[in-house]
Amino acid sequence: MSRPGSPESRHPDSPDRDSPEQAYQDFTRRLSYGDYLHLDELRAAHQPVTAAHDEHLFIAVHHVSEVWLGLIIRELQAAMTLLEGGVTDTPLKMLSRVVRAQEQLTNAWEVLKTMTPADYLQFRSAFGAASGFQSAGYRMVEVLLGNRNPALLRPHEHRPDLHDPLQDALRAPSVYDLTLRLLAARGLPLPRAVLERDLAQPTRLDEAVLEAWLTVYRDPEQYWDLYELAEKLLDVEDNFRRWRFNHLTTVERTIGFKTGSGGTSGAGYLRRALEVVLFPELWAVRTRL
């Protein structure tokens, strides 16, 4: 006997639902794919300023990266709200999504690397002082993760709509600050100086925090969710480092050691940024175990 809906069960005169002719055709009164996703606006944002073939690639990779950064911000903020309320399971799922989105961001370099220095020079002078250094999305991700440096927010001072949220995030706990508060709430001894630190400053390695993580890492069963959270945060920082490293390598192979369009030394600046450590004790705990 044939299964209902299988090709054998179909009456010869009944329409073939598998055929493209059966798809909805009239969108005068229906929400279409393009309208739902505002694809006209999306396409309108793609505006090369030269006739250079590779400028399309350059713009597309930046746009795609900004969309992923936007998603990462949403996931981080949602995870942080839950962590603040003492919840750990759903944030773990959200951080897993962040990790996957970061992989997409890092993979984007593979496409961009097909652009040679000569290709890039065909349009480099056309975008003046514009640089990823001024990416408000990237800065928000950094600030949420705990890289706190007020100087990095300055390029946004002329845009309060971008600057204010960054400034607010700079003065609020990072995802790591919230994790440390959870450790304290579970009875692990953390000094007041850590829990009430000046949030606008970057995280510095603290011996008492390291001791608290050692307790967790020596007894994962007892602190399973904190242990998993720590490893997930390490995945996030690991991926962040990979993105930074691949950016640096792409920059070196494209412009060598020329200065950056944003005004920094270029590769030298990016090399120094590789030294930033977001969750110092989570790296140090490995040495002590």
Rounded Cα–Cα distance for residues 109 and 130 (Å): 19
- Measured from the CB atom, the residue of 32 and 259 that comes closer to ligand HEM is 259
- Measured from the CB atom, the residue of 138 and 213 that comes closer to ligand HEM is 138
Single residue of 133, 227, 245, 283 touching ligand HEM by CB under 6 A: 133
Q: Does 263 bind ligand HEM (CB under 6 A)?
A: yes
Two structure tokens written together for 285:
């705990």
Q: Does 280 bind ligand HEM (CB under 6 A)?
A: no
Rounded Cα–Cα distance for residues 197 and 40 (Å): 47
Report the half-sphere exposure of 110 (CA within 13 A, side-chain side).
6
Q: Does 106 bind ligand HEM (CB under 6 A)?
A: no
Q: What is the footprint of ligand HEM within residues 37-76 (CB under 6 A)?
A: 61-62, 65
Interface pattern 201-240 for ligand HEM (x via CB under 6 A): ----------------------------------------
Q: What is the footprint of ligand HEM within residues 136-165 (CB under 6 A)?
A: 138
> Measuring CA to CA, how many Å separate 265 from each of 235, 258, 270, 273?
29, 7, 8, 12
The footprint of ligand HEM on this chain (CB under 6 A) covers a number of residues equal to 24
Phi-psi region of 140 (alpha: psi -120 to 50; beta: other; left: phi over 0): alpha
Dihedral angle of Cα 83, 87, 93, 96, to the nearest 10 degrees = 30
Q: Under 8 Å CB-to-CB from 67, ≥6 apart: which residues?
A: none
- Residue ranges binding ligand HEM (CB under 6 A): 61-62, 65, 112, 120, 131-133, 135, 138, 247, 250-251, 254-255, 260-264, 266, 269-270, 273
Q: Residues marked as binding for heme?
A: 247
